[in-house]
């Protein structure tokens, strides 16, 4: 496994707020039951799909008004149809940034724009219906494979469920289970491996046909979405979609069109892997350590 973290722990991640969440953002909200904690109001503009980019403009965010900001002066652009990797040490603010994007929280100062419109002015349900999250650990319900996948979209047809499972590279292992798609999984059902659970999580996200796919790659190999699966997703389903991946592995980072390097709530560096290597800063330092090469 290639990882960018061991030597300096810079890209180490011990705890991720998105842990355990998978599915459309509306369902994630339901699971979190956060709606009653922070009041997020819907905007009036209907949202019909991302045309160009999501832009954070000088965004600052505090969870607690008395504490210092967790994100400070974040200005980034996430282009449509590209893969953006967010890297940084534990506590850098990666999950918080995603939380703002999904409007689990609203920015304290600054603004997030979607094709030039302030995110707050967009209809919240429209916006969230376009986003799906696949996180580190996957919660499976004590129910059949079919129902676990269809949880991503309750009106999905059998054909759609199978198509999603195929895209997530889950179809083959599902067919080998005693009752195929009707096999019960979860606490009282067949035990699945971590990799199999992640494939189901991915199928659950894919069935939402999200325009924006958020992947949360863990550092812990056992809990994490397998490296191989991430590669496959980025290369197949991820093509022409807006993918945002909280990334720890070099192989994932190398596939991204853009890398945002965060540290202590700030964006330290951003750009393509080539431009970051040329910059010869924090990212380059870590990259060369990982490769055991000496920067020139
Ligand atoms: P990790 O890789 O460990 O998940 P991260 O880069 O995703 O880290 P965040 O989870 O966004 O970082 O956390 C950034 C900071 O915000 C941390 O100092 C964290 O303690 C704090 N924080 C995160 N969630 C909350 C919350 N719900 N309330 C208060 N503070 C929080």
Residue 125 belongs to what H/E stretch?
Answer: helix 124-129
| CB 22 within 8 Å of CB 205 | yes
3-state SS string for 258-278: EEEEEECCEEEEEECHHHHHH
Residues 128-142, mean pLDDT to the nearest whole number? 83
How confident is residue 8, by pLDDT bands cut at 50, 70 and 90? very low
Could you tell me the pTM of the whole model?
Answer: 0.83
Q: Specify the range with the lowest mean pLDDT, choosing from 212-216, 224-228, 264-268.
A: 224-228
- Specify the pLDDT at position 32: 57
What atom in ligand 1 is closest to the CA of residue 15?
A: 3
Pairing of strands 109-114, 143-144: unpaired
Instruction: Among 122-126, 172-176, 219-223, name the one with the lowest average pLDDT.
Output: 219-223
* CB of 207 closer than 8 Å to CB of 153: yes
In angstroms, the CA 221 to CA 215 distance is 15
DSSP string across 70-102:
SEEEEEEEEETTSEEEEE--TTSSHHHHHHHHT
11: pLDDT confidence band, cut at 50, 70 and 90?
Answer: very low
Please choose from 20, 61, 70 the residue to mutate so as to test ligand 1's pocket, defined by most ligand atoms within 8 A of CB.
Answer: 70
Report how far ligand 1's centroid is from the alpha carbon of 263 (Å). 12
Q: Quick one: pLDDT at residue 3?
A: 33
Residue 147 pLDDT level (bands cut at 50, 70, 90): very high
Q: Best mutation site among 15, 91, 219, 262 for ligand 1, i.e. most ligand atoms within 8 A of its Cβ? A: 91
ipTM above 0.95, yes or no: yes
More confident residue, 116 or 90: 116
9 pLDDT band, cuts 50/70/90, is very low
What average pLDDT score do residues 54-61 get?
98
**pLDDT band at residue 139 using 50, 70 and 90 as cut-offs:** confident
Q: For residue range 189-218, what is the model confidence (pLDDT) as tens digits?
A: 888 887 788 889 889 999 989 999 998 876
Task: Determine the pLDDT at residue 236.
Answer: 83
Q: How far is the CA of 198 from the centre of ligand 1 (A)?
A: 23
Beta bridge partners of 134: 22, 215
At which residue do the structure tokens 């191989």 appear? 228
When the pLDDT of each residue in the chain is averaged and rounded to a whole number, the result is 83
| Contacts (Cβ under 8 Å, ≥6 apart) of 97 | 56, 71, 74, 86, 262
Pairing mode of beta strands 53-61, 109-114: antiparallel
pLDDT for 287 equals 84
Beta strands in the chain (DSSP E): 22-24, 53-61, 71-79, 83-87, 109-114, 117-118, 131-134, 143-144, 184-185, 212-216, 242-246, 258-263, 266-271
pLDDT tens-digit profile of 72-91? 999 999 999 999 999 988 89
Averaged pLDDT for residues 214-232: 67
pLDDT band for position 238 (cuts 50, 70, 90): confident
pLDDT at 132 over 80: yes
Sorting pLDDT into bands at 50, 70 and 90, what band is 141? confident
d(CA 59, CA 106): 10
In angstroms, the CA 100 to CA 79 distance is 17
In angstroms, rounded to a whole number, what is the distance separating the alpha carbons of residues 239 and 49?
A: 16
For tokens 């397998």, name the residue.
226
Contacts 24+ apart (CB under 8 A), 144-149: 144/179, 144/181, 144/182, 144/183, 144/184, 144/185, 145/174, 145/177, 145/180, 145/181, 145/182, 145/183, 145/185, 145/200, 146/181, 146/182, 148/185, 148/186, 148/200, 148/204, 149/200, 149/203, 149/204, 149/207
Looking at 164-173, 233-242, 261-270, 274-283, which range is the least confident one? Answer: 233-242
Q: Indicate whether residue 93 lines ligand 1 (CB < 6 A).
A: yes
Task: List the structure tokens of 215.
Answer: 């992947």
What distance in angstroms lies between residue 93's CA and the mean position of ligand 1's atoms? 6
**Judging by beta carbons within 10 Å of its beta carbon (0-12, 13-18, 19+), is residue 196 exposed, middle or buried?**
buried
Distance between CA atoms of 3 and 230, rounded to whole angstroms?
A: 14
């Amino acid at each position: 496994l290639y990882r960018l973290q061991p030597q300096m722990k810079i890209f180490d991640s011990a705890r991720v707020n998105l842990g355990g969440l998978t599915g459309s953002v509306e369902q994630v909200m339901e699971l979190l039951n956060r709606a009653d904690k922070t009041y997020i109001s819907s905007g009036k503009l209907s949202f019909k799909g991302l045309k160009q980019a999501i832009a954070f403009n000088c965004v600052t965010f505090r969870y607690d008004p008395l504490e210092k900001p967790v994100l400070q002066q974040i200005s980034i652009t996430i282009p449509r149809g590209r893969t953006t990797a967010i890297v940084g040490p534990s506590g850098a603010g990666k999950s918080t940034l995603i939380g703002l994007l999904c409007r689990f929280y609203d920015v304290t100062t600054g603004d997030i724009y979607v094709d030039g419109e302030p995110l707050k002015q967009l209809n919240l349900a429209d916006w969230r219906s376009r986003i799906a999250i696949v996180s580190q650990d996957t919660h499976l319900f004590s129910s059949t494979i079919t129902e676990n996948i269809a949880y991503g979209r309750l009106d999905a047809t059998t054909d759609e469920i199978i198509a999603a499972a195929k895209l997530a590279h889950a179809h083959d292992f599902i067919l080998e289970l005693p009752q195929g798609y009707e096999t019960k999984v979860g606490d009282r059902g067949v035990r699945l491996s971590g990799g199999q659970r992640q494939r189901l999580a991915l199928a659950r996200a894919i069935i939402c046909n999200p325009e924006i796919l958020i992947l949360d790659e863990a550092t812990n190999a056992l809990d994490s979405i397998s490296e191989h699966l991430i590669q496959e997703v980025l290369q197949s389903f991820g093509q022409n979609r807006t993918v945002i991946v909280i990334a720890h592995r070099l192989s994932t980072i190398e596939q991204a069109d853009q890398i945002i390097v965060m540290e202590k709530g700030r964006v330290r560096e951003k750009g393509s892997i080539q431009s970051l290597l040329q910059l010869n800063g924090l990212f380059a330092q870590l990259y060369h350590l990982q490769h055991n090469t000496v920067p020139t």
